[in-house]
Structure 1
Amino acid sequence: MGEDVSEVDEQSPKSNLLKWIFIAVAVVVVIVIIVTVTVVLVLKKKRNEKYPGFLYLNDIHIDLSYNPKSNKDWCHSQTNNLLESWEFGQYNCDPPPKLYDSLVESLKTNVPSVDFILLGGDLPSHDLGGNYTFLKEHFRLITDPLEKLYPNKKIFITLGNNDFQENYGSFKTDLKDFENAHEVFGKWMNEEQSKTFKKGGYYYEDMPELKLRLLLLNTVMYTNTKSRVFNESLKDPYDQFAWIRQTYKEGVDKGYKVGVALHVPPGIVYYKGIPGFPSMYLEEFGKVFEECDFSFTISGHSHIDTLNPLYKANVEEDNIQYSLSAVSVSPSHYNNPGYRYFEIKDGVLQDYTQFYADIMMNPDSPKWEVEYKFRDAYKVKDLSKKSLNDATRYIRSKGSVIWSYRGYIYSQAEKYNPFFYCALRALTKEDVFKCSLDLNVNLSSIMPYSNRGD
């Protein structure tokens, strides 16, 4: 009996040690699990956190003369024997009020509240012409429903080339155009803002609660067009370059981040292959943006969803400033119509949600839905300067990502999409040719490499 007790006593310390080691390991495992779960929940909460935000609509080009029985080559006249009726618009045409009404209706669910509304310019249809009263009527067609939906919220404007009586305007008539636009948008401006807007079509807004100063620029005056002939003696039209530098510095001194909204971006417009500005303005604009560390830049005009460099990088690794170009409401560039909701915190854009309506798939009743969210699409934490550069590197890193990016450019629309939808039911040679003939497209354009053989 005594020997048995002695044996048990000798083994007890070892048993106790193993027991305590097991308990310690278990405690560590539990702590690790708790910490991991907590971190995941915190990160998930942070990712799902809702910030203040604003609605962005650009290149609406509302068209009161649109004919739903027209075809895409002439949008104002009924086409004989056309069975389809495109009540909400079609590719290659500016949209009827009915499409804009459906957009506003969708905002009630998709964007129920905003801190402000930003219009990126080009509210009337292309080549509208007409008089100043006609222009103001088109401005109010856009602003009145928004004002009703979001009462007591300011609506800001960056003038687009079609917001002038003559497309792109001219230095001879600019002041009349500024005054005309002010008659509609002046209700959301104070005295100082009205002064600079009437002088040069630009102004700024301070938003202390967002720690943001927003510069609303006029870049139409930097373009070189038939009506607005480039004049080398005009080094700084309406003193806007000097104003940008001064207003930026004053904003930073007040503790604000400074953001920029403009219509015509300075760089190459893809579909034209030419820069938005003459070289003199392009260089000066680049200098301003290199000097001023803007929090963000939002642009329109191109009608497509792209990231556009605002100046050249000295080396490949440099982080440069990009403008966020958004797809237009008008489907006139073979794009699906879209709009964007930006989230912002402490003057830095945190994310945006891109909404769109596929008017080919749902021509009778547009379904405005989420296309993508920037942070999820490009694996970044926000839309800061560094994050936008990280996003461009990510886009260039994988073929699947560049294809996603290309899909976003036109909001999932493409000129030849109808052919591919038709071809999904095409078995014979005759079926395929019928798809191309019915849609008036050339097979060699759709499949440029098909003649190389199998």
Structure 2
Amino acid sequence: MFTSTGSTRYVIPSAPLIPGHQSGPVKDPAQPFGNSHCDSPPDLADSMLDATLEFAPEAKFSIFTGDVIEGATWLVDESEGLQDLSQWNAQMTAKVGYPVYGSIGNHDTAPVNSFPRNDTETTIGSQWVFNTQSSGWERWIGATAAEQLRHGSGSYAVVVPDISLRLISINTQYWYPQNFWLYDTNNMPADPNGILAFMVGQLQAAEDAGQRAWIFGHIPSGKADIFFDQSNYYDQIVQRYRNTIAAQFFGHSHKDQFEIAYSDFSKQTAETADSILFIAPALTPTSGNPAFKVYDIDPDTFEVMDAKVYMTNISDPSFHVKPQWQLYYSARESYGPFVGGLQATDSLNPAFWHNLTEVFETNDAAFQLFNTRLSRGGAVDSCTDDCKTTTICDMRAARSQNNCDIQTPGIQLKREEDEELGQLVLPEDECEGTAARSILAGMVVGGLDDDAAVQQILELLSGEEYFEEN
């Protein structure tokens, strides 16, 4: 059994506000535990950590999938980022009695998403992030893994004490289109900073030792905001080591989701489904009701037997007195009957999740249950017709080129073309500002030439006046 806390988005009390939000009387105060327009205050994070101990007192360890630094991302400097990361590490140390195995999120640097490649010449680096997390996590991951993290661009691996399970934490930000350092004048290599090579080495070590492996990180491989090439290479590695990989765990979307990998993406069936990515919900109230997951694990195969989501309702009148955490649902108990029931020894394996997607296609009540649970009932959007089709498609897309949110080749940005105005329309993104995304989008539709776009991105990174927070 272990807990997964997903993306946290932690904010310290002294964090600055976005310009334009500082004047005038406060009309909607955050109150002690925050609200749906605010980051997670320390008291809410404390409450969640207490709840993980209450509902999973026998947990072997916890996985944390990144995103600590506050939501006003373009106003954060290295000093504040260091303070946020260090304070969250100290908070977990004080509250959690078992090891925490963390990964680095795209927000966990300053400026946001800024992870330069090893071959990039710049004075703006992310080594301070790796140093901070290496020191903060060494108590849990050990000295060897801490050195891997420090010198391996944020990735590391550790064998869980006393069990034959290798955990591989990867820094997915080197495959992320909004990591603007990937667009410098040098050609981007197939494996920026050697993350994929590190994965292969660790999976081979697990195979040689007869171990099972879990892969975890921040951005799932099938999301629209992962480069096609790196997602494809990642999938090839997963296929090669599919008998070693027992499960994968990610965050980033702040939603309770999953993605399935297939041995043949052109024939997506229960028989070809061979790897499952569990995507954790978030503590952050901006994404719905705060939540975490508790996984029941088979002690021999290390496959997931159940995934239980616990949440607290920010609309409950008692929330600002003391958040009341409770079981929201058990995946096994709730979804199992839809696929014909499960035997006691059956895991929630890739075939189970594929069969569930087929249920969603024909049973709208079951699909709407899933849709409500994306935000733990806290920010439910209507999803029918094309939305439903796309959502189910995305469940079957652990490889980003199969994600139905992506409509055209080029830089992989989710987008729609406004035919009447001839403008590029970018959807809302709860995690990002849109100015830099618009620049990159301009490279796709011809509004900017490549050199001009890169120059404007560099101005963003250097803090020049071009940037405007959206």
Whether the aligned pair in 2 keeps the contact of 1:165 and 1:177 (CA below 8 Å) is: no
Mapped to 2, the partners of 1:307 and 1:75 lie a distance apart of 37
User: Are residue 174 (structure 1) and residue 126 (structure 2) matched?
Assistant: yes
Report the alpha carbon displacement of residue 166 of structure 1 after superposing the two structures with TM. 1.9
Mapped to 1, the partners of 2:232 and 2:380 lie a distance apart of 35
Partner residue in 2 for 1:371: 328
Whether the aligned pair in 1 keeps the contact of 2:53 and 2:96 (CA below 8 Å) is: no
TM-score (norm 2): 0.68
Question: Structure 1, unaligned stretches of length 5 or more?
Answer: 1-52, 269-274, 418-454
Report the alpha carbon displacement of residue 158 of structure 1 after superposing the two structures with TM. 0.8
Partner residue in 1 for 2:50: 105
Partner residue in 2 for 1:299: 250
Q: Which residue of 331, 336, 357 maps to 2:285?
A: 331
Q: Could you tell me which amino acid in structure 1 is paired with residue 253 of structure 2?
A: S
Mapped to 2, the partners of 1:122 and 1:64 lie a distance apart of 14
> Quick check: which has more Rg, 1 or 2?
1
Whether the aligned pair in 1 keeps the contact of 2:182 and 2:188 (CA below 8 Å) is: no
Whether the aligned pair in 1 keeps the contact of 2:6 and 2:251 (CA below 8 Å) is: yes
SS of structure 2 residue aligned to 1:98: helix
SS of structure 2 residue aligned to 1:156: strand
Q: Which has the higher helix share?
A: 1
Q: Could you tell me which amino acid in structure 2 is paired with residue 358 of structure 1?
A: N
Q: 1:94 to 1:141 in 2, by over 3 A?
A: same
- Partner deviation per Cα, 1:5-51 (whole Å, 9 max, x = no partner): xxxxxxxxxxxxxxxxxxxxxxxxxxxxxxxxxxxxxxxxxxxxxxx
Partner residue in 2 for 1:147: 93
TM-score (norm 1): 0.71
Mapped to 2, the partners of 1:85 and 1:201 lie a distance apart of 33
SS of structure 2 residue aligned to 1:329: coil
Q: Which residue of 355, 360, 364 maps to 1:399?
A: 364
Query: Following superposition of structure 1 onto structure 2, how do residues 260-271 of structure 1 map, counting pairs within 5 Å?
Result: 260-268=215-223
Whether the aligned pair in 2 keeps the contact of 1:119 and 1:158 (CA below 8 Å) is: yes
Query: Following superposition of structure 1 onto structure 2, how do residues 302-381 of structure 1 map, counting pairs within 5 Å?
Result: 302-310=253-261, 313-317=265-269, 318-333=272-287, 335-344=288-297, 345-346=299-300, 347-362=302-317, 363-364=319-320, 365-379=322-336, 380=342, 381=346
Report the alpha carbon displacement of residue 384 of structure 1 after superposing the two structures with TM. 2.3
SS of structure 1 residue aligned to 2:83: helix
Q: 1:235 to 1:154 in 2, by over 3 A?
A: same
Q: 1:409 to 1:78 in 2, by over 3 A?
A: farther
- Partner deviation per Cα, 1:43-80 (whole Å, 9 max, x = no partner): xxxxxxxxxx112112111122489xx9xx99975863
Report the alpha carbon displacement of residue 314 of structure 1 after superposing the two structures with TM. 2.3
Question: Structure 2, unaligned stretches of length 5 or more?
Answer: 337-341, 383-470
- Partner deviation per Cα, 1:148-197 (whole Å, 9 max, x = no partner): 3333x322111001111221123151333322322222333334313321
Whether the aligned pair in 1 keeps the contact of 2:34 and 2:44 (CA below 8 Å) is: yes
Q: 1:202 to 1:225 in 2, by over 3 A?
A: same
- Partner deviation per Cα, 1:63-101 (whole Å, 9 max, x = no partner): 22489xx9xx99975863737663311113212112112
Whether the aligned pair in 2 keeps the contact of 1:132 and 1:165 (CA below 8 Å) is: yes
Count of residues paired in the alignment: 353
Q: Sequence identity of aligned pairs in percent?
A: 16
Report the alpha carbon displacement of residue 387 of structure 1 after superposing the two structures with TM. 2.6
Q: 1:237 to 1:374 in 2, by over 3 A?
A: same
Mapped to 2, the partners of 1:391 and 1:141 lie a distance apart of 40
